[in-house]
Amino acid sequence: MKSSTFRKLLAIALLAITSTVGAEEVLRLGLLGNKFNKSFSAGVFGFAQERQVFEQAFKKDGVKVEWTFYSAGAPALNEAIANGKVDIAVYGEVGSIAGKAGTLPTRIIAPNGLGGGKNYILVPATSNVSVPADLKGKRVALSRGTAPQLLFLRWAREIAGISDKEIRILNLGSTDQEATFLSGGADVLIGSNLDLVDRGLARILSVIDADANPIFAGFGNVVVTQSYLDAHPERVQTWVDAYVKIAAEVADERYRNDFVRLAGKTGTSAKSARNTLPKDLTLAYAPVFDAYYYTRLRTAIDDCRRFGMIPRDIDAAKWVEPRFLEKSLKDQGLAEKWGALRSAPGPKLAEEAKP
Amino acid sequence: MKRLLRTILPPLSVQLAVLLAWYLSGKYELVPTTLLVPPERVWETAKDMWSTSELQTHVGWSLRRVFLGYLIGSGAGIVLGAAVGISRRAQVWLGPTLDIFKQVPVFAWAPMMILFFGIEEASKLAFVAVACFYPVLLNTSQGVQSVQSRHREVGEAFGLSRTRIFLRIVVPSAIPSVLVGLRQSIALAWMAVVSAELLGAESGIGYFMTYSRLLFQMDGVIVGVLAVGAIGILTNALLGGLERWLVPWTKEVA
């Protein structure tokens, strides 16, 4: 009896040991899902996913790359990071800033694109609003805690001369925004879609052109958890090397149609994708931490704080960990490739840079 | 005193144990403190919110919505429940329709609420009212129907009018059941107000919790949870007091 129990215990122990030995190492990538819940990414990560860039880079080390798309958006991604389910996360400025302000131990290891294209401030076709300043006290339908909130409040401040306290934000999910606007429950709508204008139900009050005015350009961040960075700095380097390589190749006008095609895989219409793609792809997807990037990051943190979206300040310089990217650019002979380009737009912003 | 201690001590000790577990799990990082923010930080956030009146504002708005929605929904539930319970004709005419709508989850009403009542306060009150309506309706009709026929017969034997039978016999007999419905509804009202405040709200504890979660301010979420819990305890105590005052005999029987 005793011997049988011993044998069983031994078998369990052996099974546990062998399963540990055989366990595959995994690098867990967390990305934002899309409204159609498709497991595809747009932008540079769309190319990386399609060509299995990271999988190839880690093949020799026996590390499996796992892609998880969080369709519940940045809050879900932040919660997954906090739960230790994600090693490297790719998301927008507001989500990543909110996570960091919520004391998530993350470090930015690469930028991920600079938004461009056009967004529109729409009012009902019959509205008596004729100039942006008329929106004082009006109701805008948008999702709070998202990039559109930051964009709209920046527009209100810069163009309409209205503070965030002088406008009423109706916090609505994307599907309810249009319904509320059409039923007269909201006076303003923001977006890149002009369907309502085409149908004669809305008119454009203002065009927000991120290409013409960089303050309206959103951007993305790639962050790694501090624990993963401490445990596997060499893997972070391998990952950044692969990322820089693919970004350097596809951040080029020749790939514009492919950017549109990949956006289509996430459920975005070609028309909408063309409308929101930056005018200068080389500039937008440059994988560099330059004065331009730091200024965008600092401005976004300041604005999130000013608009009450984060409870505390973030030290941008300490948040960014540039050594991996710098090494990659140097090793791949790309250190000088984007320097001249990125000093061109937004001279006012570049002057205020805080590297 | 001894009785009071016997009543308060057991739940209080459980609550203190939960608080201690929460504190220790944060102190020794047994769970991610970014998600389960330690109590001392939550306390700081609550204090900050109190000093700027942010907490009072949000709680005030939610209380207002809960109170008015509850009043409308449970009021309608009592009236219709009594009608269906007492009148065979009302049951025939209204029963099937009420049964059909009973199957619809309250959250499914959201688009209709916006359509009929707009995005402002009316739709939020309607949302809470719908959530409160059915538990009160069902319990009231059940309470009225379960009045023992011999009690009615005694009333009739004493020559009481139908109105007096209703007021002196049916109502007192149905009150315990109505109160059960009212208690169920108040819990649902709080659940509903959190959902209602997703419908384009600019204030309220549900709005605040959702917004805090969106911006990964988990201390704010916990402050909201605790505020709802504290108000829930107060409301329950209030309803318990009301029950003891209205139907003291149920306690005696128990």
Judging contacts by C-beta atoms under 8 Å, the chain B residues touching residue A185 are: 114, 118-120, 200
- Nearest CB neighbour to A82, from listed B32, B111, B213: B32
* pLDDT at residue A241, rounded to an integer: 97
* pLDDT at residue A42, rounded to an integer: 81
Q: What string of DSSP letters covers A248-286?
A: HHHSSGGGHHHHHHHHHHTT--HHHHHHHS-S-HHHHT-
Asked if residues A178 and A196 have their Cβ atoms less than 8 Å apart, the reply is yes
- Tell me the pLDDT tens digit for each residue of B3-37: 778 878 888 899 899 999 999 998 888 888 889 99
Judging contacts by C-beta atoms under 8 Å, the chain A residues touching residue B200 are: 141, 170-172, 176, 180, 185-186
The residue of chain B with its CA nearest to that of A141 is B200
Separation between Cα atoms, residue B3 and residue B197, nearest integer Å: 41
B195 sits in which H/E element? helix B171-196
CA distances, A31 to each of A28, A233, B138 (Å)? 10, 21, 47
Is the Cβ of B108 closer than 8 Å to some Cβ of chain A?
no
Domains of chain A (ranges, CATH numbers): 22-115+218-351 (3.40.190.10), 118-209 (3.40.190.10)
- Tell me the pLDDT tens digit for each residue of B210-242: 889 988 999 999 999 999 989 988 888 888 888
Cβ contact, residue pair B114, A176, below 8 Å: yes
Q: A240 pLDDT exceeds 50?
A: yes
- Tell me the pLDDT tens digit for each residue of B110-146: 878 877 888 888 989 999 999 999 999 999 999 988 8
Asked if residues B132 and B70 have their Cβ atoms less than 8 Å apart, the reply is yes
* pLDDT at residue A282, rounded to an integer: 86
Mean per-residue pLDDT over chain A, rounded = 86
- What's the burial of A36, exposed, middle or buried (CB within 10 Å: 0-12/13-18/19+)? exposed
pTM of the shown model: 0.81
Exposure of A18 in the CB half-sphere (CA atoms within 13 A): 6
- Tell me the pLDDT tens digit for each residue of A73-89: 899 999 999 999 999 99
**Which letter does DSSP use for residue A120 in this model?**
E
* pLDDT at residue A13, rounded to an integer: 57
CA distances, A226 to each of A88, A230, A303, B199 (Å)? 10, 6, 26, 37
Is the Cβ of A166 closer than 8 Å to some Cβ of chain B?
no
For residue A5, what are its two tokens? 């129990």
Other residues' Cβ atoms within 10 Å of the Cβ of residue A18: 10
Exposure of B171 in the CB half-sphere (CA atoms within 13 A): 10
Is the Cβ of B78 closer than 8 Å to some Cβ of chain A?
no
* pLDDT at residue A152, rounded to an integer: 95
* pLDDT at residue A107, rounded to an integer: 97
- What percent of chain A stands above pLDDT 70? 87
Q: A230 pLDDT exceeds 70?
A: yes
DSSP H helical ranges for chain A: 2-22, 43-50, 53-57, 74-82, 93-101, 147-155, 174-182, 195-198, 226-231, 233-250, 256-265, 270-276, 281-284, 291-306, 316-319, 323-331, 339-342, 347-351
Asked if residues B1 and B7 have their Cβ atoms less than 8 Å apart, the reply is no
The fold adopted by the segment(s) B54-253 is MetI-like fold (1.10.3720)
Ranking A330-344, B34-48, B223-237 by mean pLDDT, the lowest is: A330-344
